[in-house]
Amino acid sequence: MRALGASCLILLLAALPAASQQFTTLKGHGGPVMGIAVNHATDQVATASFDNSVGLWQARTPTWLEGHDAAVNTVIFLGNGWLASAADDFSIFLWDLERAGHKRLEGHQGKVMGLALSPDYRTLASASWDGSIGIWPSEGGTPAFLQGHEGPVNAVAFGHDGRLFSASADGTVRIWNLETGNHRILIDQGFGINRIVLGPEDDWLAYGAVDGVTRVIDPVDGMELWDFSLDRRPILAMAHHAETGQLAVGDGHGYIMVIDTNDWQITRDFRAMQRGPVWALAFNATGENILAAGLSDVVYSWPVELLDAFEPAGGMERSFLRDPDDMPNGERQFMRKCSICHALTPPPSRKAGPSLYGLFGRKAGSLSDYAYSPTLENADIIWMDETIDALFDMGPDHYIPGSKMPMQRITAKSDRQDLITYLRKATATKEN
C-alpha cells in the first residue's frame, strides 16, 4: 500500500460497507482481456479475451463460451438470458445462456470492435473496422449496414430516442437516423476516437481519442461542456455507472480516471496497471467496485473508495510482461512473438493458439484439442528448424496463407536461430 498507512487503511475499511471492501481478481483466460460487461440485475460478469473466448463468471468461477475464430473484442448483456460478443473474425455471436446455444451473425468485412443495444431491446448495433455500422434486428431478419465514416468504426451508442451515435478513427462522432439511414457529423476533432458514452437522458456525450483527449459535449450541437484531457494517450476504455454518476476513463499509460458527473470533478486518478494500457473497464452493479483489464490475462476489481491505496496491478506476474532486457535473445523473441498465443506446457491450454509442447517433429495441425484452420489441418508441414525458420522469415501470411496466425516476421536470421534454439529446449518433452 502506498497512499495510506496500515492503520489508516484498517480504519477506512472499517468505516466502509462490506461490499465495497473487496479487492478481487478473475483468473482463467489464456490471453489479455479486451472487454468486460456487468449484468447490473445479477452482478454477473462477462469477459472478452484475446484467447478467442468469452468468460461468464459466477463469482470467481468461469464458464467458457467458445466459438469465435479470433480474438474477442467486446461483450454486452442483452437481457432475457442472452449475451452478445464480437471479434476479430468479423462476426457477432448471440449466446443463449439458459439453453447453452448460440447464433452467429455475419456480414461485416472487418473486425468488430463495439456493440450497443437499443433502449427497446429490439436492435443491436455493431461498429466495425470495415468502416460500417451493422444494424441487427434482435428477433431475426436481414441486417442493414450504415456507410458514411471514412475510417474504421470503433464504438456505437444508442440515444433514448432511438438515434444512434458512432465514433471512428476518422476523428468524427456522427448521429444516425435509423429510419432513413441519414446522418450528420456531430464533431470532427481530427484524431481518431476510440470510445463514447452517453449520459442519462442523453444529457451529455463523453468521448476519448487516440491523442489523449477526454471531452464531454452536448449531444445535440456538439458544443464542448467539459475537458478532462490529461498528459496521457491514447484513451482506450470508458465506463459509466448512471446510479452513482461515475464516469471512468482508462488510457494507454495504465491509469484510470474517475469523474463525478454530478459536479464534473475528477475524484480519482489511479495508476491501475504497472505495465501497459487499460483496455477494458466496467463498474459492478452497485458502482462500489471498478473492474479493469489490460495486457495481463487477469481482470482486477478494486473498491472505488480505496483506489489510491493500491499499488499498480499486473506488474511481473505473467511471463509476457517480463522485462525483455532480463532474458536471453531466444527467449526474448518468444516472449515478443509467441507467448501471448502459445503455451510451452502440455495441452490443454486456454491460449489463443495450440500448445508448443513437443513441437519439434510434430505435424502441423495435429493436436486433437485445438480447432485449427483448414489450411493448417491440410498442411504438409513438419515443425523442425527449417520450417520454423521459414515461418518467421516469410511470415505466416505468406508461409501458411489462410491460417489464424497473425502477420509477423523476424527479419534477422540470427534472431530466428536464437528463437529456434530456445524452442528446442523449452518445448522438449520428458521423452526427448
| Structure confidence by residue, pLDDT tens digits, 215-251 | 999 999 999 999 999 989 999 999 999 999 999 999 9
How far does CA 228 lie from the centroid of its chain? 23
Distance CA 24, CA 361 (A): 42
The single-letter code of the amino acid at 200 is P
* Domain containing residue 296: CATH number: 2.130.10.10
Range of the domain at 350: 322-426
CA dihedral (100, 101, 105, 109) positive or negative: positive
**Preceding amide of 234 cis, omega within 30:** yes
- Say whether both 290 and 332 belong to one domain: no
**Range with the lowest mean pLDDT among 83-87, 176-180, 367-371?**
367-371
In 3D space, the residue among 223, 267, 229 whose CA is nearest the CA of residue 245 turns out to be 267
Q: Residue 430's pLDDT is what?
A: 67
Residue 314 grid coordinates: 499486473
- Say whether both 134 and 72 belong to one domain: yes
Helix (H) or strand (E) holding 47: strand 44-49
Sorting pLDDT into bands at 50, 70 and 90, what band is 17?
A: very low
Within a domain: 432: no
Sorting pLDDT into bands at 50, 70 and 90, what band is 318?
A: low
Within a domain: 316: no
Sorting pLDDT into bands at 50, 70 and 90, what band is 12?
A: very low
For the chain, what is the largest distance between any 2 Cα atoms, rounded to a whole number of angstroms? 69
| Structure confidence by residue, pLDDT tens digits, 68-111 | 999 999 999 998 899 999 999 999 999 999 988 999 999 999 99
DSSP per-residue string spanning 88-141? TTS-EEEEETTTTEEEEE---SS-EEEEEE-TTS-EEEEEETTSEEEEEETT--
**Range with the lowest mean pLDDT among 9-23, 46-60, 252-266?**
9-23
Of 309, 334, 369, the last residue of a domain is: 309
